[in-house]
Amino acid sequence: MYPEFRPRRLRTTPAMRRLVAETSLEPRHLVLPMFVADGIDAPREISSMPGVFQHTEDSLRAAATAAVEAGVGGLMLFGVPRPEDKDARGSCATDPDGVLNRALRELRNELGDATVLMADTCLDEFTDHGHCGVLNGSGRVDNDATLERYAEMAVAQAESGAHLLGPSGMMDGQVGSIRAALDAAGFQDVGQLAYAAKYASAFYGPFREAVGSSLEGDRRTYQQDPANRREALREVDLDLAEGADLVMVKPAMSYLDILREVADRADVPVAAYQISGEYSMITAAAQNGWIDRDAAVLESLMSIRRAGADIVLTYWAAEAAGWLS
Ligand code: PBG
């Protein structure tokens, strides 16, 4: 007796495996999140994310140019204001001379349309309380007052040259209100990569250091409960109805089931964000000699693609693009 079918035949040589691979990973699939900080005179490594930096405007320009030359699909920019520039409304986010808007302008001048320039459209980096929105009298995040701030922030980012905005605050109606504001200001061509299904995750820990977050407490009144699946699909449907151009699932690796369902359902491009904690876990294990770093990085990215992501935001974007091209 012998097996009727021998799957191993299709695994015999690298060329054979390459021929039959179902999923591919290309530099264009990868988007690099970057941090630009105000008031520093040299790039500062984020201790919980070895290899990732808060950039000065100069080092940002250099790193962004290198990433684009390596072939990444786009850049996602986060601003880190000076602590003394934070306030309850996140004023720095809408100030044309705030750190994020300034950096967007510089990068757009430098890179033009050579890449897709994206901006995080959220207040948490800019508020002194660290929440993603403004607070009401009882200290809760006020959804509709926050929408007004997002609308102003979106217009400021579009004026600064962003091609795509990434509303990441999980307020109800954020995509619709940003769409209306952009259209009213004449930015019909500026789109939204909507963080549609964003979970309240412990794996954001290192990002809080990366942006010098002031948050105490958590974001469970606006980000999703990790227990919920159907709710993610509703969030995606709402964002699509409000005009999202692309939708995102975040985090990636603990939510690959959600990613698969979103990919099956959405008729727009789907992104997934391999977040700070995912980066740090692999980095820490590799630093201990416990896993092969580069192989683990590529396997993680491939698994996110296989689960349905057209686009993967990852802190390894530039490096992995270099390996893949
Ligand atoms: C909110 C935002 C966060 C991340 C991206 N956008 C933090 C949060 O929701 O607490 C996390 C990214 C990461 O962990 O890599 N502006």
Mind listing the pLDDT tens digit for each residue in 226-283? 999 999 999 999 999 999 999 999 999 999 999 999 999 999 999 999 999 999 999 9
pLDDT at 3: 82
Look at phi and psi of residue 66 and say left if phi exceeds 0, alpha if psi is from -120 to 50, else beta.
alpha
Q: In b/e form, how buried is each residue of 248-281, taking b as 16+ CB within 10 angstroms?
A: bbbbbbebbebbbbbbeebebebbbbbbbbbbbb
State if residue 168 touches ligand 1 by the CB under 6 angstroms criterion. Answer: yes
* Domain map (residue ranges) of the chain: 25-324
Model pTM score:
0.97
Pocket test for ligand 1, best of 129, 204, 313 (most atoms within 8 A of CB): 204
86 is catalytic: no
CA angle 66, 69, 320 (to 5 degrees): 80
Catalytic residue among 76, 250, 253, 309: 250
Q: Assign 2 a pLDDT band (cuts: 50, 70, 90).
A: confident
Going through 168-303 in order, the beta strands assigned E by DSSP cover: 191-198, 246-250, 270-274
Token digits of residue 65: 């140019």
Question: If you measure from the C-alpha of residue 14 to the centroid of ligand 1, how many angstroms do you get, rounded to a whole number?
Answer: 38
Q: Whose CA is nearest to atom 12 of ligand 1?
A: 275
Atom of ligand 1 nearest to the CA of 204: 14
Whole-angstrom Cα distance, residue 91 to residue 142?
Answer: 16
State if residue 222 touches ligand 1 by the CB under 6 angstroms criterion. Answer: no
State if residue 124 touches ligand 1 by the CB under 6 angstroms criterion. Answer: yes
Atom of ligand 1 nearest to the CA of 223: 9
Q: What is the pLDDT of residues 26-43, one digit of tens each?
A: 999 999 999 999 999 999
- Helix (H) or strand (E) run with residue 143 in it: helix 143-159
Whole-angstrom Cα distance, residue 29 to residue 5?
Answer: 34
State if residue 275 touches ligand 1 by the CB under 6 angstroms criterion. Answer: yes
Q: Assign 4 a pLDDT band (cuts: 50, 70, 90).
A: confident
State if residue 171 touches ligand 1 by the CB under 6 angstroms criterion. Answer: no
Catalytic residue among 179, 198, 219, 305: 198
Q: What is the pLDDT of residues 129-167, one digit of tens each?
A: 999 999 999 999 999 999 999 999 999 999 999 999 999
Q: Assign 199 a pLDDT band (cuts: 50, 70, 90).
A: very high
Computed over every residue of the chain, the mean pLDDT equals: 97
Atom of ligand 1 nearest to the CA of 124: 16
Domain 25-324 classification at class level? alpha beta
Q: Whose CA is nearest to atom 6 of ligand 1?
A: 168
Q: Assign 214 a pLDDT band (cuts: 50, 70, 90).
A: confident
